[in-house]
Amino acid sequence: MYSINDELKERITDLNELLEGKYKAILGKNGQELRNFIEENIGKIQHMKKLDNKKLKSFYDNGGIVGVDGSNNRMGGAFPHFVEVYQALAKSTSRKDDSVIKTDIYAPLIELDENLLENNEKIIEDKKNIKLSNLEVEAALDSIDKFRPFAILMDGGLIRYNIYAYDKWQELKTRCEEEGIILIGVIKDIKTSMIGDKMKELNPEIKGRIYDREMLYGVLEYGEMILIQHSANKKELEGYASVFLRSSLQPSVIGMDIIESQREHIEEMARLVFTLTPENSRGVPLWLDIVDKEVKITDDIMRGLMERYMDRGIYERFFVSERDKRA
C-alpha cells in the first residue's frame, strides 16, 4: 500500500489554492474578453487552413523541408566525473537515406579549467547550450550545402542561437537570406510573457510574471494563430517575427519564430507547421518528432557506447557513480 504523508498532501493543497488566488484576476476573464484584449494589444487572431498537397509538392520540388534537432545525454556521477555527448541532426523530407549528423563531447576531467574547480552548474549548463546550439547550426549549415532545402525547421526558438552560437548563427541567417531558404523555429514550450506584461502595463496592480502559455491555454480554437505585432514583441528587436498557434486539439499553444527579413512567409510557414501536426498530438509537427526520435541518445545507447568503447577499468574508475550501482 502507498501511504502518503499528510503534511505533503496539505502542501499540495496549499499550492493549488495559492495558484488559484494568484491567477484569479487574469484567468477569471472570460475567453472572449481575453481574445479582445489580445486582438487589441498583441496581434490579430486569425484562422489557418491546412496546406494542400499541391502546395506541399511545390515545397518538395524546391528542395523539401529540413528538420533540425539536437540531443544530449550524460553518463557518470557528479562534477567532474561525467561525460556528456551531444548530437545534432538535420534530416530532409526529400532525401531519406541521407542526413547530416554532428556530434561533440564534453568531459570536464579533460577540459578541467582551473577556475572551475568548484562545481558550477551555470557554467556547465552554458557549455552544454553552447555546444548543442553550435552543433545544430552547423548541421543546418551543412544541410544547405547538401539538400538546398525550401525551408529549415529548427526545434526550439531561434533566439537562443543569438546567445549561444552567435557567429555561426549569423552565417546561417545570411546564407538563408541570400539563398532564399526560409528559416523558422518551432517552440513547444513557449516561455514568453507578452500578454501578461502588456496587462501589467495597463493595470499596475497585477503582480508577478504571468507567462503566455498560462494565458493562452484554451483561448485559441484549433487552427487559430496570433500574428504578433511589432510593438508587442521583444524578440523583434533581435530580428525575429513570431506567431502563437494552436496546432492540435490540445488546448495548449505553441510558438513559431521566423527571421525578420522573411516575415512575408510567416503565415505560410505557420500553416505548414499546422499541416504537419497530427490533430491528436501535443502540437509538435510530426517531422520534428521524427527527427527528435532519430537524434535522441538514449540511456541504453549511452551505456552501450561507454561499455563498448571504453576500457572497463577507466570506465569504472571515472564514470560509474554509486547511484548507478544501485540495482
Partner 1 sequence: MKVVGITTQQEFFVGSKERNFRINEFLIIEDTYQGPLLGEVVEAKTYNRYIPLNINGDFVDNSVLESLKSLGYDIDEDTIYIAKVRLLNEALYPVQTGSDARLPKFHEIKDLMLKTKKEEGLVLGVIRNTDDMAVEMDDEYKNLVYTFEDGILMPQKELPYIMDIRSMHQYPHIGVFGGSGSGKSFGLRVVLEELMVQGIPTIVLDPHYEMDFSEVAIEESNNLPNFNDKFKCLQIGVHVGVKFEDISAQDLKNLLDAAGRLTDSMNNVVDVLFKRRDSYHSFANRLQMLSEAQEEGSLGKIEQRIENANDDEERKAWKARLDLYEAYDKACPYSSVRGISWRLRRLGNDGVFSKNIREIEEGLQNGKLIVIQGSTRILQVFSTYLLSNLYHKRREYKDAVYKKTESDYFPPFIIVTDEAHNFAPKGYDSPSKSILKEISQEGRKYGVFLILATQRPTLLDETITAQLNTKFIFRTVRASDIQTIKEETDITMEESKRLPYLRTGDVFISSASMGRTIFARIRAAYSSSPHTINPFDELKGKVKEEDDKFYNLIINKLPINDIDLVHICMDIEKEIKYTYTVDALEEKLIQMVDKGYIEKEDTIFGYRYIKK
End-to-end CA distance of the chain: 22
Q: Is 280 in the site for partner 1 (CB under 8 A)?
A: yes
For residue 161, give the nearest of 185, 143, 177, 144 by alpha carbon. Answer: 185
Nearest distance in Å: CB 252, partner 1: 13
Kindly write out the interface string for residues 67-106 of this chain, putting x where it contacts partner 1 by CB under 8 A and - elsewhere: -------------------------xxxxx----------
Phi, psi at residue 208, to the nearest 5°? 80, 175
Nearest distance in Å: CB 9, partner 1: 28
Q: Which is nearer to partner 1, 93 or 233 (CB)?
A: 93
Nearest distance in Å: CB 213, partner 1: 18
Query: Which DSSP symbol is given to 109?
Result: T
Size of the site for partner 1 (CB under 8 A): 29
Residues 90, 99 contacting (CB under 8 angstroms): yes
In the three-class reduction of DSSP (H, G, I as helix; E, B as strand; rest coil), residue 73 is classed as: strand
Q: Which is nearer to partner 1, 143 or 233 (CB)?
A: 143
Nearest distance in Å: CB 40, partner 1: 34
Q: Tell me whether strands 151-155 and 182-187 are parallel, antiparallel or unpaired.
A: parallel
Which DSSP string do the residues of 152-183 spell out, in sequence order? Answer: EEEES-SHHHHHHSHHHHHHHHHHHHHHT-EE
| Cα diameter, the chain | 65
Kindly write out the interface string for residues 285-324 of this chain, putting x where it contacts partner 1 by CB under 8 A and - elsewhere: -xx-xx-xx-------------------------------
Q: Which is nearer to partner 1, 57 or 230 (CB)?
A: 57
Q: Tell me whether strands 82-92 and 182-187 are parallel, antiparallel or unpaired.
A: unpaired
Task: Give, as ranges, the residues between 21 and 60 that touch partner 1 (CB under 8 A).
Answer: 50-51, 53, 56-57, 59-60
Residues 253, 190 contacting (CB under 8 angstroms): yes
Q: Which is nearer to partner 1, 105 or 286 (CB)?
A: 286
Q: Is 189 in the site for partner 1 (CB under 8 A)?
A: no
HSE-CB for 301 with a 13 A CA cutoff: 14
Q: Which is nearer to partner 1, 193 or 275 (CB)?
A: 275
Amino acid present at 67: G
Q: Which is nearer to partner 1, 209 or 293 (CB)?
A: 293
HSE-CB for 131 with a 13 A CA cutoff: 19
Nearest distance in Å: CB 165, partner 1: 26
Q: Is 277 in the site for partner 1 (CB under 8 A)?
A: yes
Nearest distance in Å: CB 55, partner 1: 8
For residue 242, give the nearest of 152, 157, 169, 141 by alpha carbon. Answer: 157
Q: Which is nearer to partner 1, 152 or 195 (CB)?
A: 152
Q: Contact residues for partner 1 (CB under 8 A)? A: 50-51, 53, 56-57, 59-60, 64-65, 92-96, 275-282, 284, 286-287, 289-290, 292-293
